[in-house]
Amino acid sequence: MSLSTKFKLLPEVARFLGGSPFAGFIGGKDFPSSGGALIPTIDPGSGEKIGDIHDMTAADVAKAVDVANQAFPKWAALPQQERGAILLKLVDAVEKHKAIIGQIEALEAGKIEVQAQGDVQNFVDTMRYFVKQAEAVHTRTKLNVPGHEAWVHRAPWGACGFIFPWNFPFLLIGWGISPALAAGNTVIIKPAEDTSLSAIYLARLAKEAGLPDGVINVVTGRGQTAGAALSASPKIKRMSFTGSPEVGQLVAEACGRNLVPVKLELGGKGAAVVFDDVDVNAVADKLVGAITFHTGQVCCDATRWFVHSKIYDQFIARCKEKLDQVKIGHPLDPTTQMGPVVNHRQRARVLGYQEKGQATGAKCIYGGGPATVPGCDGNYVKPALLTGPLDNVAAREEIFGPVAYVAKFDTEEQAIAMANDTDYGLANSVWTGDSARAARVAEAMVAGNSWINAHNVFPHGVPYGGVKKSGLGGGVLSPEVLMDYYRSTSVVRPV
Ligand code: NAD
C-alpha cells in the first residue's frame, strides 16, 4: 500500500510533492543544479521515495553567495521597523502553513506530525523574538572616554552561510537565520541532503510574503560538494554550522583559511544526574520521554543516566515499565509515540553502537535491536538501556538514537566527576529536591547548558550553545547571538 493511500496527505502537501524534482532557490526563483544530478528524499517511516532534490555544484553555490551579497545593501539599508514588518509577514505565512510544513517535515525527517508542527511554531516564535530584539539594538553606542568623542557603530555583515543537520530541519533554520535576517544580513541555507524540502517550502513562502529576492537563498545537495563550497567561500561574511563535530572541524578549517568568523553548534553526550530525594517514578518517566523524543536524535539528549544507588533499582524498574508502553510507528499515525530514525545509515549506526558496546563489556538491560512496524518498511529501532564500564564506546560516543547508558553513584562529587568525564559539553540535567545542591551541581557540570529537574528546555532569551567538542563561537537563542550578526566599528575623535 502506498504512503498516500495508507495515510491522508494534505492536498497542499500532495501538490507540493508532485512538483518534484526540487531545485534550489536563488534570487527569488527555483535554481536547478548545473550538474543535473538528483538526490532522492525518502520517507524514513515507509521507505518510500517522496521526491528528489537537485544536487547543486560548487558553481551553483558560488552563484547563491553572489546573489546574497548583491541583495544585501538594499536589505541592510531598510529602516529596522520596515525590515521587521517584512519578516513578520513571513512569520505569519509560516504560522498559517504550519500543518503543511509540519507534514512535509514528518515525511522527510520521520518526525511525529504534532512534534513537527511544534517545531514550525518554534520557528515562528524564534523569528518574532529576534525581530523584537533587533528593534531595541542601538546601532550607535556612545563611549565615555576622557579627551575623546567616541562611539561604536554597528552594521550587519553581508551574506551569511548556514549549514544545517536533518534532526530539526525547520526549527534549526529558525534558530539560525532569524537573528541574521533581523539584523539586516542576507542568508544562504544549505539543508541536510535528507531533509531539504521544508527549506525549499520556506524560501518559496518568503517570496510570496514579500521578502526581497536574494535575501533567503537555499542551496541543496551533498555536504562534500555544496556544503564544502559554501564553507570555503571567501565571499561569505559569516558562517554558522550545526551538525557533527567531525564535519564542524572541516567547516571551521575552511572558514579559518579565509578568516571568516564561524559558529559551530555540535553534538553531545549529555548526562542526567538523579539524586535519591526525587519522585523516582516521575523522573524515570521524564527521562524515558527524553530518550524516545524524536527517537533519541536530539543533540542535547540525556544519554548517560547517573542514578543514586539508593533508588537505582526502583528507577530502572520504572523505566522498563514505561519503555514497554512506547508505541513505535509511522510519523503520520496519530497513535505513534516514537517514529523511525532518519535513514538506513543512522539505523546501522544506532544498532552498531549497541553491538560494539556489548562486544566490549557493556550489558543491555532493556530492549535494543531493530523494530518492525506492520505495513511500513521504515528505519525502526527499539529503545535500549545499556550499563557497564564508563569507558565503553557506547558510554563515550554520541549514538544519536533511543539509547541510554545507566550507572550508579553514591556521592555528589562522584556524580559530578562522572558527568564531566566526557569529550562533549552541550547539556546536562540534575534532578533533586534540594535547590542548593541543584545549583551547585548545575554549575559544576562543564557544558553550555545545565537544566534543573527537566531536560531539553529552550526558552527564548537563554543562550543555548556548547563547549569542548559540542560547540564553538557562541550558541543560539539569546540577545548576544543577535549581536554576533552586527560587525562593529569604533569611531573616535580626539577633542
Ligand atoms: P553532519 O555533520 O553529518 O551534517 C550536517 C550538515 O553538514 C549537513 O547539511 C551535511 O550535508 C553538511 N556537510 C557534510 N559534510 C560536509 C562538508 N565536508 N562540508 C560542509 N558541510 C558538510 O550531521 P548530521 O548527521 O546531519 O546531524 C547530526 C549531528 O548534528 C549530531 O552530531 C548532532 O548532535 C548535531 N546537532 C547539534 C545541534 C546543536 O544545536 N548543538 C543541533 C542539532 C544537531
Q: Which of 458, 7, 478, 16 is nearest to 202 (CA)?
A: 16
To test the pocket of ligand 1, the residue of 167, 344, 379 to mutate (highest count of ligand atoms within 8 Å of its CB) is 167
Looking at the DSSP bridge assignments, the partners of residue 355 are none
Nine cell digits for residue 104: 512535509
pLDDT tens string, the chain, 495 residues long: the values are 566 567 889 999 999 999 999 999 999 999 999 999 999 999 999 999 999 999 999 999 999 999 999 999 999 999 999 999 999 999 999 999 999 999 999 999 999 999 999 999 999 999 999 999 999 999 999 999 999 999 999 999 999 999 999 999 999 999 999 999 999 999 999 999 999 999 999 999 999 999 999 999 999 999 999 999 999 999 999 999 999 999 999 999 999 999 999 999 999 999 999 999 999 999 999 999 999 999 999 999 999 999 999 999 999 999 999 999 999 999 999 999 999 999 999 999 999 999 999 999 999 999 999 999 999 999 999 999 999 999 999 999 999 999 999 999 999 999 999 999 999 999 999 999 999 999 999 999 999 999 999 999 999 999 999 999 999 988 899 999 999 999 999 999 999
HEC readout, the chain: CCHHHHCCCCHHHHHHHHCCCECEEECCEEECCCCCCEEEEECCCCCCEEEEEECCCHHHHHHHHHHHHHHHHHHHHCCHHHHHHHHHHHHHHHHHCHHHHHHHHHHHHCCCHHHHHHHHHHHHHHHHHHHHHHHCCCCEEEEEECCEEEEEEEEECCEEEEECCCCCHHHHHHHHHHHHHHHCCEEEEECCCCCCHHHHHHHHHHHHHCCCCCCEEECCCCHHHHHHHHHCCCCCCEEEEECCHHHHHHHHHHHHHHCCCEEEECCCCEEEEECCCCCHHHHHHHHHHHHHHHHHCCCCCEEEEEEECCCHHHHHHHHHHHHHCCCECCCCCCCCCECCCCCHHHHHHHHHHHHHHHHCCCEEEEECCECCECCECCCCECCEEEECCCCCHHHHCCCCCCEEEEEEECCHHHHHHHHHCCCEECEEEEECCCHHHHHHHHHHCCCCEEEECCCCCCCCCCCECCEECCEECCCECCHHHHHHCEEEEEEEEEC
pLDDT of residue 7: 85
* Position in ligand 1 atom list of the atom nearest CA 231: 20
Given the residues 265, 397, 398, 412, the one annotated as active site: 265
Query: Quick check: is 193 catalytic?
Result: no
Does ligand 1 lie within 6 Å of residue 475's CB atom? no
Is 265 an active-site residue?
A: yes
Ligand 1 close to Cβ of residue 268 (< 6 A): yes
Ligand 1 contact, 205 CB (< 6 A): no
Count the Cβ atoms, other than its own, within 10 Å of residue 92. Answer: 13
Going by alpha carbons, the residue nearest to atom 12 of ligand 1 is 223
pLDDT at residue number 144: 96
Q: What's the pLDDT score for residue 307?
A: 98
- pLDDT at site 6: 78
- Going by alpha carbons, the residue nearest to atom 37 of ligand 1 is 266
Instruction: Tell how far CA 150 is from the center of its chain.
Output: 40
Report helix angle 11-18 to 98-109, nearest 10: 60
Please tell me the distance between residue 238's alpha carbon and the centre of ligand 1 in angstroms: 17
Phi, psi of 142, deg, nearest 5: -75, 140
Q: What is the pLDDT of residue 474?
A: 80
Ligand 1 pocket mutation, candidates 61, 171, 247, 457, criterion most atoms within 8 A of CB: 247
> Is residue 296 in contact with ligand 1, taking CB distance under 6 Å?
no
| Pocket lining: 157 vs ligand 1, CB cutoff 6 Å | no
Q: Ligand 1 center to residue 26 CA distance, Å?
A: 22
